[in-house]
Structure 1
Amino acid sequence: MLFCELTAEEFEQHVNENFSHYTQSRVHYNYKRSHHEPVYLLGVKENGRVIASCLLTSARAFKMFNYFYSHRGPVMDYDNRALVDFFFTELSRYLRKRKGLFVLVDPHIIVNYRNHEGEVIQSNNLEPLIAQMDRLGYHHKGFTVGYSMSSQARWLSVLHIDGKTEDQLLKEMEYKTRRNIKKTEEMGVKVRDLSIEETDKFFRLFQMAEDKHGFTFRDYDYFVRMQKTYGDQCRLVLSYIDLNDYIGRLEEEHRVKAAELQASRDKLAENPDYRKLKNKTQELEKAVSSVQKKIDDAKQLKETDGEILELASALYIHNEHELYYLSSGSNPKYNQFMGPYNMMWEMIKYAKSLNLKTYNFYGVSGVFTEDAEDYGVLKFKKGFNAVVEEYVGDFEKPLRPLFYRLYKMKK
């Protein structure tokens, strides 16, 4: 085996052929290089073939040293113990030569698959791997729960779409989710792409989510940068409704219901004691009244808020394996139009069109009780028949133990 720096082409081929995260990608590497940020492509070859690859970034630490990080890397077969030993031993040597203070990795390794009640449905025994990493000096930072600004999400909600038709995917969703998707289609809710110049439309909705959940996550420039970095692999989408179209649909529904009501009244006049017909007429009267109220409300909303309502928006990125639903926001004032349901379903179909294996709803907290901070989000994702993938988490190795301890004390 040979530990070496990889060309962009070698790295790209390996991560495309092996299940990997979007951050382990050539486009990420190209962006870092174009902005003169330190980035490394490292790997292992055997008989001239790449069998492990890794994108690492670095930043200054303690002025004279560097901190190294691989987001969801390295990409390799972790069941190959000899390869794991060789890669991480050689990685430590490589980074020490480059003034490394410590290195952090969070591999794309799943310890448990769970349902959205937190019950384990499939488990992988990672104790031997964790013990091996510990012997190599890469200490496991624990099975954490919750969200953190200092580490990546360890719990992700993922829908497996490989080998399933759209009809199958719909059928496997919860009834409420299927019903809400159908309602959005009946109301005429649509999705369109936002250009990079329209990022403000997304960001306004994203800030509403921040206000609702009481957090501050990313600034406007971050989302512009993500679009520039990932280019065609990135989509910023907007779920919206045209009230003129919506009112037209309601008026047509009202015309049909009113005709049915009149026909029922005519029959009831001929058969005044027919209880079943009387009940039907009363139900139709309620239905006509309900549709009329929706028309009146929609016209009033059009007067105050305009013809086009921006319901929800989200940033998506995909690689050869997954479509990632990364950041989003919605306007709670327009919850009745259920924009997020329509957006999710349209993007699931988009992932199918790309022949991807999974639709990744991304992070959940790992807390499954009703008092969880993200319980509403958890229930929403559960409705699409997603599973929770629990990752192994972070491994950290001090490369210069004395200075590392001083660094930690200072922090």
Structure 2
Amino acid sequence: MKFVQISEDEFSTYMEDHFSHYTQSLANYRHLTHQHGRAHLLGVKNDNGQVIAAGLFSEARALKFYKYFYSQRGPVMDYTNIELVDFYFRSLTDYLKQHNCLFVRVDPYILENLHTADGEIIESYDRRMLIRTLESLGYRHQGYTRGYSKISQIRWLSVLDLQDKSEKQLLKEMDYQTRRNIKKTDQMGVQIRTLSIDETPKFYELMKMAEEKHGFTFRDEAYYRNLQRVYDGQILLQLAYINLEDYVQKLDVKLQQLQAQYKDVQKQLEESPNSKKQKTKATQLEQQIQSTKRKIDETKQRIETDGTELNLASAVYIYNDHEMYYLSSGSNPAYNRYMGAYALQWEMIKFAKAHGIDRYNFYGVTGDFSEDAEDYGVQQFKKGFNAQVEEYIGDFIKVVKPGVYRLGQLARQI
């Protein structure tokens, strides 16, 4: 085996052929190189010259004179092959020393446990040998964290398995209320379209509404514009919207159908005035007619105050050969009744299926499965689509220059 810097083509081909995160991509490498001037594609080749491990490492300045390296969701290799793991990370340490590295962080994209949406462990993976091997080389495991962090990737992801499942089966396996909400968005005429980069403000306006509602701040608009440039061809900024005039027309048609059915029931009652079945049906139709009339009136009032077309929700998605990632979203809470978020998710699940992508990644949850969890509502939303929770192994940090690192920590500069 040989530890080497690999070419862009070798790196890209390897990531296409091996399960990997979208950040371990040629697009991200070129972005890091362009923005920071330096990134590293580091791999291992076997005796036949075949790449058998690869990782993208970013490089940043640390304590003015030193460097910090990071492989986000990497490096990528067969982590059950302990001999390969030992060789890669032992060689990586030598490489980092040559490049004046202060410390390095890695967070391999490998599972620790598979959970139900309620937190129960379905399957556990024994990573003790891997952790012992890495720690013997000085790569210290940072623990089994929960919650969100500003310095590391989320360890808990909500993922829906799409492999070998039809759209019909996916719907059937969803929670009843989720399935019903998706159906209602179709009946109301909620539509989805892709926003251009020049329309990013439409997304960001809805994103800010979500931030205000939940009391957090994430990224500025420029971040999302840049994200679209970096992952051009692999990113979709989606908008769920509704045309209220079209919706009124749908309601008018529904009202006419209900009224026609009600007349038929009245005729049946004239012939059989004591029929409990027809009396019950008449009562149900009366309620539906009144409800539909009320919706028509409310929608017409909404048109007068808010206009004909409403932007309901928007989200940004990135995809590669392995996964569709739902990254960030926002919605207008005043329009929750139109359930734009459900329409968005279902549309993108269908997109993933159409493009042969087997995993739909709803992305992060805290790992706190109690009703008091800060993201309890978000967890329940994702659970409704039949997503399971994947718990990843977490971060490892290797301090290459211990003395300098300790001084930096004392000075609180790391």
Task: Name 1:206's counterpart in structure 2.
Answer: 207
User: Which residues of 2 match residues 212-223 of structure 1 at below 5 A?
Assistant: 212-223=213-224
Residue identity matched to 1:27: A
The secondary structure found in structure 2 opposite 1:323 is strand
Separation in 2, partners of 1:34, 1:61: 19
Task: Name 2:230's counterpart in structure 1.
Answer: 229
Separation in 1, partners of 2:274, 2:122: 58
Separation in 2, partners of 1:307, 1:151: 43
Task: Name 1:45's counterpart in structure 2.
Answer: 45
Residue identity matched to 2:407: L
Show structure 1 runs of 5+ residues with no match.
none
Separation in 2, partners of 1:273, 1:111: 65
Separation in 2, partners of 1:20, 1:280: 55
The secondary structure found in structure 1 opposite 2:232 is helix
Separation in 2, partners of 1:178, 1:128: 43
- Residue 169 (str. 1) matches residue 170 (str. 2): yes
Separation in 2, partners of 1:279, 1:164: 39
User: Which residues of 2 match residues 2-401 of structure 1 at below 5 A?
Assistant: 2-46=2-46, 47-401=48-402
Separation in 2, partners of 1:36, 1:102: 18
Residue identity matched to 1:190: Q
The secondary structure found in structure 2 opposite 1:232 is coil
Separation in 1, partners of 2:282, 2:67: 77
TM-score by length of 1: 0.98
User: Alpha-carbon deviations, 1:270-298, whole Å to 9, x = none?
Assistant: 44343432332222111111100000001
Separation in 2, partners of 1:284, 1:178: 23
Separation in 2, partners of 1:33, 1:288: 62
Structure 1 residue 79 displacement after superposition: 0.9
User: Alpha-carbon deviations, 1:110-147, whole Å to 9, x = none?
Assistant: 00000011100001001111111100100000000001
- 11-20 vs 276-285, which moves further: 276-285
Structure 1 residue 353 displacement after superposition: 1.1
Separation in 1, partners of 2:286, 2:173: 35
Separation in 2, partners of 1:143, 1:274: 64
The secondary structure found in structure 2 opposite 1:371 is coil
Structure 1 residue 205 displacement after superposition: 0.9
Give structure 1 regions of 4+ aligned residues with deviation exceeding 4 angstroms.
none
Separation in 2, partners of 1:115, 1:37: 42
Separation in 2, partners of 1:386, 1:146: 19
Structure 1 residue 36 displacement after superposition: 4.7
Separation in 2, partners of 1:349, 1:192: 14
- 391-400 vs 302-311, which moves further: 302-311
Separation in 2, partners of 1:87, 1:323: 29
The secondary structure found in structure 2 opposite 1:329 is strand
User: Alpha-carbon deviations, 1:15-73, whole Å to 9, x = none?
Assistant: 11000000000111122223353211110000200000010001111000000000000
Distance 1:251 1:120, change over 3 A: same
Separation in 2, partners of 1:291, 1:97: 72
Residue identity matched to 1:169: L
- 393-402 vs 176-185, which moves further: 176-185
Residue identity matched to 1:299: K
The secondary structure found in structure 2 opposite 1:63 is coil
- 164-173 vs 276-285, which moves further: 276-285
Structure 1 residue 212 displacement after superposition: 1.7
User: Alpha-carbon deviations, 1:72-100, whole Å to 9, x = none?
Assistant: 00000111111111111111111111110
Residue identity matched to 1:368: F
Structure 1 residue 254 displacement after superposition: 0.3
Residue identity matched to 1:405: R
Separation in 1, partners of 2:100, 2:186: 57
Separation in 1, partners of 2:211, 2:230: 24
Residue identity matched to 2:74: G
Show structure 2 runs of 5+ residues with no match.
none
Separation in 2, partners of 1:213, 1:280: 43
Separation in 2, partners of 1:373, 1:361: 17
Separation in 1, partners of 2:298, 2:31: 48
User: Alpha-carbon deviations, 1:318-365, whole Å to 9, x = none?
Assistant: 111000000011111111111111110110010011111200000000
User: Is the CA contact 2:162–2:360 (under 8 Å) kept in the aligned structure 1?
Assistant: yes
User: Is the CA contact 2:36–2:60 (under 8 Å) kept in the aligned structure 1?
Assistant: no
Separation in 2, partners of 1:365, 1:27: 28
Structure 1 residue 215 displacement after superposition: 1.1
TM-score by length of 2: 0.97
Separation in 2, partners of 1:353, 1:260: 39
Structure 1 residue 252 displacement after superposition: 0.2
Separation in 2, partners of 1:262, 1:345: 37
Separation in 2, partners of 1:404, 1:39: 22
